[in-house]
Amino acid sequence: MKNVIISSFFVIFVASCASNGDVSHWQGESLGNLIQEYGTPDTFLKLNDGNKVIEYDKTTSQHLAGNFCSMTFLIDRRNRIAGAQRSGNGINCIGP
């Protein structure tokens, strides 16, 4: 059951990343370059298949007013970015 949930998350993640132009330029780049640009991720999840999901979150006390940004990246086993997604209103997003 756990593998089904993780696989479903992976499929949804990759599908949603394909249409996001804000951070898609990171696809194919190394995890090291991403960390050099944004610092240590706020969230790190290692999947059973060896891939990783990392997330950078930036919020303020006005989060309820929609002042937030989140960037999520799928990292493959070779430590290359396989997918990227950005959500939020962009007011205080980190990076480009």
Query: Pick the residue with more confidence: 53 or 92?
Result: 53
Indicate whether 90 pLDDT > 80: no
Local structure of residue 61 (DSSP, 8 states) = T
Number of domains making up the chain: 1
* Domain contains 93: no
- Left, alpha or beta for 27 (phi > 0: left; psi -120 to 50: alpha)? beta
**Residue ranges of E strands in the chain:** 43-46, 52-59, 68-75, 81-88
* Domain contains 46: yes
The tokens 């799928």 sit on which residue?
74
- Using one digit for the tens of pLDDT, what is the confidence trace for 59-72? 766 555 656 788 99
* Domain contains 96: no
pTM value is: 0.69
* Domain contains 95: no
**Cβ atoms < 10 Å from Cβ of 13:** 18
Q: Which residues pair with 44 in a beta bridge?
A: 54
Confidence of residue 14 (pLDDT cuts 50, 70, 90): very low
Cα 81–83–89 angle (5° rounding)?
115
CATH code for the domain in which residue 17 is found: 3.30.1450.10
| Domain that residue 23 falls in | 2-88
